[in-house]
């Protein structure tokens, strides 16, 4: 009887975990490839003009912010435009410079580059309100239960990662960069949070990818580009960094960390570094075209830019 | 039915005379009625737009300010946008870039109520003229001059451009 239970236990474990490992779910990934499955917008249509942020829901719908026509668009799983909302302005549901987008449950969260806060929409693109934020937002993630994580820009002080509740109250915060005095914009970052609540942080102007606990303890730090010093350009007597290291970071359903390289990677804005949760480099692959961001949905489809932002490509991630 | 009588010959003569005389009159040839000033060549403006400025939030604000000052009819009749962009070395790159920037302009112009159409500077003729932002090349018919007005325009310069375009 016990043997039978053990056997059944193995059987169900294999049933549940098998497809994941067959698809490359373990950390034994050595090679990652992409297979294009959907393309939205292009040279011959007007679906997208300059998309900036992308998010997906559990039903396979794709939500996109478009900076050129100041809109939020909803596409079905087949890529058909279902709805469009927003226009240029500073009123409810309007944008001046739409940037980041995240989806959690029935809610969509969007940022406007120059707005101290996060706009909330429902999945039918109805504007619901705004969550206040104490500073401008550089990165955004929806954590569930109405909580948000945001990376905020620091001017006099270094940038921080804040966890906000649905009313904008700061629940926790930490400063990933090693204190002030590192230069303007040097704390620009993107991040992703794993199921344990730990953060993977990739810096725009530093050759550094790090893992942090939500309490603000750094678990590891890795460099992949061999860059000690980033070139700067003088703009109105300010020395601003001019070469990007890492543009975005995203996690797949197995917990692999996908980091999009910037201008300093071998194929600028196309190389993607795949890491395990300890920061070990498992594989690299190259996007067909440069992208400014990466998004991976719960089914391990990767979304990236093409045609300089008038096209959004959806790829199936192939693991080997 | 072909008319062969005297009335038919007169009718053909009138039609032929009209066919010769009317186009000549439109072209202002000697002997033709003098065209009114309104029928003469119009002043035009080419609005040069650096496509990279699309990514900079406030860089095209002066362009939008200018567009708000120009009546819709004048925008449609007298203005054209020239989209200035960089591209790779091959002509194929330039052609694809031209199509991309025209698509971007569609979104930008629709969202901002801009009424004039755009042409892409496929051979990058204006790359040296316009470094960033936007400017207007005005072809002033009355003065027979071509003048360059970088944006933003002062109030006086805006009035000058409007006077040229609207007169």
| Residue B4 pLDDT greater than 50, yes or no | no
Nearest to B100 among A66, A87, A307 (CB): A307
Question: Do residues A71 and A84 make contact, with C-beta atoms less than 8 angstroms apart?
Answer: yes
> Where are the domain boundaries for CATH 3.40.30.10 in chain B?
41-166
The answer to whether residue A97 neighbours chain B at the CB level (below 8 Å) is yes
Number of structural domains found in chain A: 1
- pLDDT single digits (tens) A265-278: 999 999 999 999 99
Does residue A2 lie within any of the structural domains?
Answer: no
Q: Is the pTM of this model over 0.90?
A: no
Does residue A273 lie within any of the structural domains?
Answer: yes
Does residue A15 lie within any of the structural domains?
Answer: no
SS3 content of chain B, % helix, strand, coil (to 5): 50, 15, 35
A45: nearest CA partner in chain B = B103
Mean of all residue pLDDT scores within chain A: 88
CATH number 3.40.190.80 is the correct assignment for the domain at B41-166? no
- The answer to ipTM > 0.90 is no
Nearest to B106 among A46, A88, A308 (CB): A46
| Residue B68 pLDDT greater than 60, yes or no | yes
Q: In angstroms, what separates the C-alpha of B133 from chain A's closest C-alpha? A: 16
Q: In angstroms, what separates the C-alpha of B6 from chain A's closest C-alpha? A: 59
Q: DSSP readout, chain A?
A: -HHHHHHHHHHHHHHHHHHHHHTT-STT---EEEEEEEEE--TT--S-SSEEEEEE-TTS-EEEEETTTTEEEEE-TTS-EEEEE--BSSSTT-BSSEEEEEEETTEEEEEETT-SEEEEEETT--EEEEEE-SS-EEEEEEEETTEEEEEE--SSS--EEEEE-TT--EEEEE--SSSS-S-TTTT-EEEEE-TTS-EEEEESSSS-EEEE-TTS-EEEEE--S--SS--EEEETTEEEE-S-SEEEEEE-TT--EEEEE-TTSSSTTTEEEEE-TT--EEEEEE-SS--S--EE-TTSEEEEEEGGGTEEEEEEEEE-
Q: Which of residues 31-50 of A touch B (CB under 8 A)?
A: 43, 46, 49-50
Probe site for chain A from B96, B111, B120 (most A CB atoms < 10 A): B111
**Chain B residues lying within 8 Å of A307, measured CB to CB:** 96, 100
B104: nearest CA partner in chain A = A49
Q: Phi and psi of B154, rounded to 5°?
A: -70, 170
Q: Residue A277 belongs to a domain with what CATH number?
A: 2.120.10.30
Query: Residue A33: which domain range?
Result: 28-319
Residue A125 CA to residue A107 CA, distance in Å, equals: 9
User: What pLDDT band is residue A51 in, cutting at 50, 70 and 90?
Assistant: very high
Does residue A161 lie within any of the structural domains?
Answer: yes
Does residue A11 lie within any of the structural domains?
Answer: no
The answer to whether residue A235 neighbours chain B at the CB level (below 8 Å) is no
Q: Do B57 and A114 touch (CB under 8 A)?
A: yes
Does residue A3 lie within any of the structural domains?
Answer: no
- pLDDT single digits (tens) A164-176: 999 999 999 888 8
**Residue A135 C-beta-side C-alpha neighbours within 13 Å:** 20
- pLDDT single digits (tens) B130-139: 777 899 999 9
Q: In angstroms, what separates the C-alpha of A307 from chain B's closest C-alpha? A: 7
Does residue A180 lie within any of the structural domains?
Answer: yes
- pLDDT single digits (tens) A89-137: 999 999 999 999 999 999 999 999 989 999 999 999 999 999 999 889 9
Pairing of strands B79-84, B44-50: parallel
Does residue A18 lie within any of the structural domains?
Answer: no
């Amino acid at each position: 009887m016990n043997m039978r239970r053990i056997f059944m236990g193995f059987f169900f474990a294999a049933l549940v975990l098998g497809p994941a490992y067959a698809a490359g779910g373990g950390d034994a990934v050595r090679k990652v490839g992409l297979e294009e499955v959907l393309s939205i917008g292009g040279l011959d249509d007007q679906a997208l003009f300059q998309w900036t942020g992308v998010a997906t829901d559990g039903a396979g719908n794709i939500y996109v912010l478009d900076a050129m026509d100041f809109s939020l668009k909803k596409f079905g799983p087949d890529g058909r435009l279902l709805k469009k909302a927003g226009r240029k302005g500073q009123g409810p549901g309007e944008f001046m410079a739409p940037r980041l987008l995240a989806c959690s449950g029935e809610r969509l969260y969007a940022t406007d580059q120059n707005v101290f806060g996060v706009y909330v929409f429902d999945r039918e693109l109805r504007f619901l309100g705004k969550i206040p934020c104490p500073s401008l937002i550089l990165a955004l993630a929806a954590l569930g239960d109405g909580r948000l994580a945001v990376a905020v820009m620091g001017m006099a002080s270094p940038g921080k990662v804040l966890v906000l509740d649905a009313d904008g109250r700061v629940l926790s915060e930490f400063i990933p960069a090693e204190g002030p005095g590192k230069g303007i914009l040097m704390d620009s970052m993107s991040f992703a949070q794993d199921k344990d609540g730990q953060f993977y942080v990739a810096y725009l102007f530093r050759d550094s990818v790090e893992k942090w606990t939500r309490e603000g303890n750094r678990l590891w730090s890795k460099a992949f580009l061999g860059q000690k010093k980033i070139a700067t350009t003088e703009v109105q007597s300010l020395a601003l960094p001019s070469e990007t290291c890492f543009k975005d970071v995203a996690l797949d359903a197995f917990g692999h960390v996908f980091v999009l390289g910037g201008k300093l990677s071998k194929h600028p804005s196309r190389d993607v570094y795949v890491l395990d949760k300890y920061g070990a480099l498992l594989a690299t692959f190259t996007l067909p075209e440069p992208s400014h961001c990466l998004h991976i949905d719960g089914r391990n489809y990767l979304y990236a830019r093409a045609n300089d932002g008038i096209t959004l490509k959806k790829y199936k991630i192939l693991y080997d | 039915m072909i008319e062969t009588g005297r009335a038919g010959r007169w009718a053909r003569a009138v039609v032929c005379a009209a066919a010769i005389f009317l186009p000549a009159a439109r072209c202002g040839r000697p002997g033709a009625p003098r065209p009114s000033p309104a029928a003469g060549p119009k002043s035009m403006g080419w609005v040069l737009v650096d496509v990279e400025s699309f990514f900079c939030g406030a860089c095209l604000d002066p362009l939008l300010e200018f567009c708000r000052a120009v009546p819709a009819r004048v925008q449609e009749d007298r203005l054209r946008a020239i989209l200035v962009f960089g591209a790779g070395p091959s002509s194929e790159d330039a052609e694809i870039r031209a199509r991309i920037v025209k698509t971007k302009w569609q979104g930008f112009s629709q969202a901002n109520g801009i009424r004039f159409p755009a042409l892409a500077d496929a051979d990058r003729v204006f790359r040296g003229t316009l470094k960033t932002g936007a400017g207007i090349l005005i072809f002033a018919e009355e003065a027979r001059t071509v003048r360059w007005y970088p944006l933003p325009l002062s109030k006086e310069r805006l009035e000058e451009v409007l006077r040229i375009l609207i007169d």
